[in-house]
């Protein structure tokens, strides 16, 4: 039962070839490059969406922080499209892999911290000690702040992995339960099916929200450091 439940999270390889590479690169095919002055509907809609997101996200940053605009919009679109594609049946969702999320979180977080250290050394070191702490508490508080700084990338990665994995697992379990209940008691199966539909709607929301939260937190760390 355990093997069956987690089998959708195994990195797909076909006869030894890692086709996970193709799966991760697939969402880029869904964003066509604009080549005209007035583009087709798909490209125009995506450009409009990108502008909406950019205006909302980049408003709170200084000009130095706004140089990260391309990175942040790519991040939110990549995570959002990957999560949404993972809701298709029998598909593999790359964001369930802890490796990929760690690979996204650690370099981006490290980038924001190093930017802060290079350009505003005193201010970024001052983040380790909140204002107005009593003098005897200072050593302990510095330790706590350091730990909370280093846990930021881990939290980013594990949050995304756990949310998406948990949602997919729940859908597997409830779907399997609904299927097994059809022969036993159709009304219970119907109730379970309705729960499954509600869960799928929730998963759509979670897919988008997780992308947003990831990007928002990276943007917040950036704001602290620029």
Partner 1 sequence: MPQLDTSTWLVTILAMILTLFILIQLKFHKYSYPLSPAPKTFKSTSFPTPWETKWTKIYSPLLLPQQ
The site for partner 1 (CB under 8 A) is made up of 6-7, 9-11, 13, 18, 20-21, 24-25, 27-28, 31-34, 47, 50-51, 70-71, 73-75, 77-78, 94, 96-100, 102-104, 161, 165
C-beta closer to partner 1: residue 81 or 200 = 81
Query: 58-64: long-range contacts at Cβ-Cβ below 8 A with a sequence spacing of 24 or more?
Result: 60/219, 60/223, 61/219, 61/222, 61/223, 61/226, 62/226, 64/115, 64/119, 64/226
Q: For tokens 């049946």, name the residue.
A: 89
C-beta closer to partner 1: residue 33 or 187 = 33
C-beta closer to partner 1: residue 98 or 195 = 98
In the complex, minimum distance from the CB of residue 47 to partner 1, in angstroms, rounded to a whole number: 5
* Per-residue three-class SS string for 16-40: CECCHHHHHHHHHHHCCCCCCCCCC
User: In 3-state terms, what secondary structure has residue 5?
Assistant: helix
The terminus-to-terminus CA distance of the chain in angstroms comes to 50
C-beta closer to partner 1: residue 3 or 147 = 3
Comparing CA positions, the residue from 29, 166, 16 lying closest to residue 93 is: 166
In the complex, minimum distance from the CB of residue 10 to partner 1, in angstroms, rounded to a whole number: 4
C-beta closer to partner 1: residue 7 or 131 = 7
In the complex, minimum distance from the CB of residue 202 to partner 1, in angstroms, rounded to a whole number: 22
In the complex, minimum distance from the CB of residue 167 to partner 1, in angstroms, rounded to a whole number: 14
How far, in Å, are 4, 187, 195 from residue 182 at the CA level?
A: 21, 8, 14
C-beta closer to partner 1: residue 7 or 187 = 7
In the complex, minimum distance from the CB of residue 173 to partner 1, in angstroms, rounded to a whole number: 16
Cβ-contact 119, 226 below 8 angstroms: yes
In the complex, minimum distance from the CB of residue 174 to partner 1, in angstroms, rounded to a whole number: 20
- What is the crossing angle of helices 98-119 and 186-225, to 10°? 20
Residue 19 in tokens: 């086709």
């Amino acid at each position: 039962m355990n093997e069956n439940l987690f089998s959708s999270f195994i990195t797909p390889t076909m006869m030894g070839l890692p086709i996970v590479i193709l799966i991760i690169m697939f969402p880029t095919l869904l964003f066509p490059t604009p080549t005209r002055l007035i583009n087709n509907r798909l490209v125009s809609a995506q450009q409009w969406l990108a502008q909406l997101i950019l205006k909302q996200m980049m408003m709170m940053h200084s000009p130095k922080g706004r140089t990260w605009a391309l990175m942040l919009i790519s991040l939110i679109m990549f995570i959002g499209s990957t999560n949404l594609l993972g809701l298709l049946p029998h598909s593999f969702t790359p964001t369930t892999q802890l490796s990929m999320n760690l690979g996204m979180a650690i370099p981006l977080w490290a980038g924001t911290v190093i930017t802060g250290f290079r350009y505003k050394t005193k201010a970024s070191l001052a983040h380790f000690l909140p204002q107005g702490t009593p003098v005897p508490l200072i050593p302990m508080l510095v330790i706590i702040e350091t730990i909370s700084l280093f846990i930021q990338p881990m939290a980013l990665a594990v949050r995304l992995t756990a949310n998406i994995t948990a949602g997919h697992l729940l859908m597997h379990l409830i779907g399997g339960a609904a299927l097994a209940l059809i022969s036993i008691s159709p009304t219970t199966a119907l109730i379970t099916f309705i729960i499954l539909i509600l869960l799928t709607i929730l998963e759509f929301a979670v897919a988008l929200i997780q992308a947003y939260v990831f990007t928002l937190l990276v943007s917040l760390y950036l704001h602290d450091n620029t």
